[in-house]
Chain A
């Protein structure tokens, strides 16, 4: 079966888990997080760590959707306001809020999420092209989704998050 372009682009970047002898299907290794009620996922391979939200300092004139900078063990980490970047309303920080620290094109950037759900493995076959409204609503940062039980995970292409917002 020929996979759609968006799916191909996403899965090709994923870490391929060693397939058990019985199964031949490739697996996606994903970190699931939530923005509001919606679950999102990014490849575990791109994530360096997940940290609690420290004080975030605003940077005047920073690009839109950069919430500010945060001290990550002596490194000044830019933090992306993922909610507004993905077209959602801004929300207050809660004790469950986390910063997902990822390395994208050699740059280390933090992404603010409402909560981190879990790490999971999914068969590649569960990946579908994102519905048109999801794709446009995210300004092309989400081009694929994955079925997980009765949920639909939105697969976030991290390298698209900043280019559109810059």
Chain B
């Protein structure tokens, strides 16, 4: 992110790291002021801290020689002062303030990239506005940060260390290697002592390897802990997005957030921003009705979008709700049928119908949003969440609103998985995506193969042979279509998608294992059945299945040709 050719690149990165949260805080507060003043409140407690923050940003920007940010922060201080002391112009002024603080956040954010937005026009407009203000004191008194804040900062300095995130990534990488090596060692010891009681020397070795494994797990947990960030860092971006987008769409929308202190791995935080933006954008453009229509329906003119996060075990559950028009199940089902994703007759359960929303082609935005510049379907959201090892589902009440639920892993580096074997290749299946594993008797197996279905817990679920989803066609050696692809199959892994299940026929189950996730090399393209790779204890690479992707039926069995 840092402009590598800048002489103070590292300092600039520090500047952004320190000032961006301040700038976002300023923006939050000016939005709060806008709301308070619109409601006729004085909100005197808001603008003191606002000016203090602006003052700090101004000082830091000056130190880094970032003149546009320095001047803007200075001018905004003046503006805030003028509005605080002169209520008459608040109605026009607060809009100027909000735009300016947004621009300031952009300036700070872009400092390290070197592609700054233009602030000259805004400054000119701001000065004109200030010139018209009659009651502006010649030398406005600054509200300084209170002593208490400083002391708090000093305390924080003692107990925290700032570490560049790539160093944490490197540590995690090294830890992963060590865990793989330990697994290899454990396998080797097992091979030596297989089938007999080990000698005292051998069991000593065995104990030592197990102890090493426990220590590594502790280390992993501690390292994961250091990588956790509050989700508020993501939520913070949405205040302005919602405000700007709603304004552009002629809608009134308020954003509410809860559980911002819930913590998630930095990688997850970094990669879930985009899918969340898609969900919120979709809600504003498609979900929420125009104000007049809302009033006619007896709803408040102002719609509410709620972001809520909470930890549940080793997952974080994140919901995005709106109180808009909701999804129309009949329309969804109709579209799913037209695209061949649903049988033409019979009515699936409501849950399942909502699940169709994540299939390709079903939810692609009909209008191109001016914000993202392109229509984005929910299938893309589903894909990004699944690539993080997460799951996404949606529920809706027609006329009352829609809620998207994202279940995300706390960490993405280590995955609890089941190893399975298919045609002598091993694959890792994330445990979170497995409902059950079944050993198949010959009759049940035959039925599963010939009819492609299985009766499981009193329901009929689709079953697919692993080699059919994992496409065997290759231009070398291996036959493109084995004569009896299901010869070795003995087990069925029941995979669960958000709303339904699908059985996957495999040869054998090799047991549970924590695997270290290695992202797919870009050279490998974007295989739709594979989420990532891992290195097993014997040093071989294995693919990690995109189990939810296979289960939700987006991937069809391919014919052999």
Residues of B within 8 A of A84 (CB): 475-476
A164 at the binding interface (Cβ < 8 Å): no
Bound-state CA distance A83–B529 (Å) is: 26
Q: Digit string of A56-84 for contact with B (CB within 8 Å is 1, else 0)?
A: 01111111111111110010111001011
B559 at the binding interface (Cβ < 8 Å): no
Q: Are A74 and B527 in contact (CB under 8 A)?
A: no
B543 at the binding interface (Cβ < 8 Å): yes
B429 at the binding interface (Cβ < 8 Å): no
Q: Are A90 and B535 in contact (CB under 8 A)?
A: no
Q: Are B540 and A66 in contact (CB under 8 A)?
A: no
8 A Cβ contacts from A108-166 to B: 109, 162, 166
Decide yes or no: A57 and B540 within 8 Å by CB, A84-B475, A92-B477 being known contacts: yes
- Expressed in whole angstroms, the minimum distance between the Cβ of B478 and any Cβ of chain A is 8
Decide yes or no: A62 and B475 within 8 Å by CB, A69-B541, A71-B535 being known contacts: no
Residues of B within 8 A of A107 (CB): 521-523
- Expressed in whole angstroms, the minimum distance between the Cβ of B561 and any Cβ of chain A is 14
Which size class do B's interface residues fall under? Answer: 20 to 34
Which listed residue (B522, B530, B535, B540) contacts A59, Cβ 8 A?
Answer: B530
Q: Which of A66, A70, A74, A162 has the most CB of B within 10 A?
A: A74
Which listed residue (A58, A62, A81, A109) contacts B525, Cβ 8 A?
Answer: A62
Q: Are A70 and B475 in contact (CB under 8 A)?
A: no
Q: Digit string of B501-521 for contact with A (CB within 8 Å is 1, else 0)?
A: 000000000000000001001
- Expressed in whole angstroms, the minimum distance between the Cβ of B181 and any Cβ of chain A is 9
CB nearest neighbor in A for B467: A60
CB nearest neighbor in B for A78: B523
Q: Are A71 and B527 in contact (CB under 8 A)?
A: no
8 A Cβ contacts from A38-59 to B: 54-55, 57-59
B274 at the binding interface (Cβ < 8 Å): no
Decide yes or no: A65 and B475 within 8 Å by CB, A57-B540, A76-B533 being known contacts: yes
CB nearest neighbor in B for A92: B477
Bound-state CA distance A22–B476 (Å) is: 49
Residues of A within 8 A of B482 (CB): none
Which listed residue (B476, B530, B541) contacts A60, Cβ 8 A?
Answer: B530
Decide yes or no: A109 and B523 within 8 Å by CB, A59-B543, A61-B529 being known contacts: yes
Bound-state CA distance A66–B474 (Å) is: 9
Decide yes or no: A74 and B529 within 8 Å by CB, A62-B524, A65-B475 being known contacts: no
- Expressed in whole angstroms, the minimum distance between the Cβ of B175 and any Cβ of chain A is 12
CB nearest neighbor in A for B542: A57
CB nearest neighbor in B for A84: B475
Residues of B within 8 A of A57 (CB): 425, 533, 540-543
8 A Cβ contacts from B472-487 to A: 474-478
On chain A, the number of residues with a Cβ less than 8 Å from chain B's Cβ atoms is: 30
Bound-state CA distance A150–B521 (Å) is: 40
CB nearest neighbor in B for A61: B527
Q: Are A58 and B425 in contact (CB under 8 A)?
A: yes
Bound-state CA distance A4–B177 (Å) is: 48
CB nearest neighbor in B for A66: B524
- Expressed in whole angstroms, the minimum distance between the Cβ of A23 and any Cβ of chain B is 39
Residues of A within 8 A of B180 (CB): 74
Residues of B within 8 A of A83 (CB): 476
CB nearest neighbor in A for B174: A74
Decide yes or no: A90 and B524 within 8 Å by CB, A57-B543, A60-B529 being known contacts: no
Which listed residue (B469, B475, B518) contacts A76, Cβ 8 A?
Answer: B518
Q: Are A90 and B525 in contact (CB under 8 A)?
A: no
Residues of B within 8 A of A66 (CB): 523-524
Which listed residue (A60, A63, A77) contacts B543, Cβ 8 A?
Answer: A60
Decide yes or no: A81 and B475 within 8 Å by CB, A60-B527, A61-B529, A71-B535 being known contacts: yes
Residues of B within 8 A of A55 (CB): 539-541
Residues of B within 8 A of A61 (CB): 471, 525, 527-530
Decide yes or no: A78 and B524 within 8 Å by CB, A58-B474, A59-B543, A71-B541 being known contacts: yes
Residues of A within 8 A of B525 (CB): 61-63, 166
Bound-state CA distance A88–B478 (Å) is: 16
- Expressed in whole angstroms, the minimum distance between the Cβ of B215 and any Cβ of chain A is 20
Q: Are B475 and A64 in contact (CB under 8 A)?
A: yes
Q: Are A69 and B476 in contact (CB under 8 A)?
A: no
Which listed residue (B177, B476, B518, B521) contacts A67, Cβ 8 A?
Answer: B476
Q: Are B475 and A59 in contact (CB under 8 A)?
A: no
- Expressed in whole angstroms, the minimum distance between the Cβ of A32 and any Cβ of chain B is 23
B470 at the binding interface (Cβ < 8 Å): yes
- Expressed in whole angstroms, the minimum distance between the Cβ of A93 and any Cβ of chain B is 9
- Expressed in whole angstroms, the minimum distance between the Cβ of B554 and any Cβ of chain A is 13
Bound-state CA distance A64–B425 (Å) is: 19
- Expressed in whole angstroms, the minimum distance between the Cβ of B28 and any Cβ of chain A is 39
Decide yes or no: A54 and B528 within 8 Å by CB, A67-B476, A78-B521, A107-B521 being known contacts: no
Residues of A within 8 A of B530 (CB): 59-61
In addition to A58-B425, A69-B521, A69-B524, 6 A-B residue pairs with Cβ atoms within 8 Å of each other are A58-B478, A60-B471, A62-B524, A74-B176, A84-B475, A109-B523
A-B contact pairs, 27 of them (CB 8 A): A57-B540, A58-B425, A58-B474, A59-B530, A61-B471, A62-B525, A63-B523, A63-B524, A68-B541, A70-B541, A71-B535, A71-B540, A71-B541, A76-B521, A76-B533, A76-B541, A78-B523, A78-B524, A81-B475, A81-B476, A83-B476, A84-B475, A90-B475, A90-B477, A92-B477, A107-B523, A109-B523
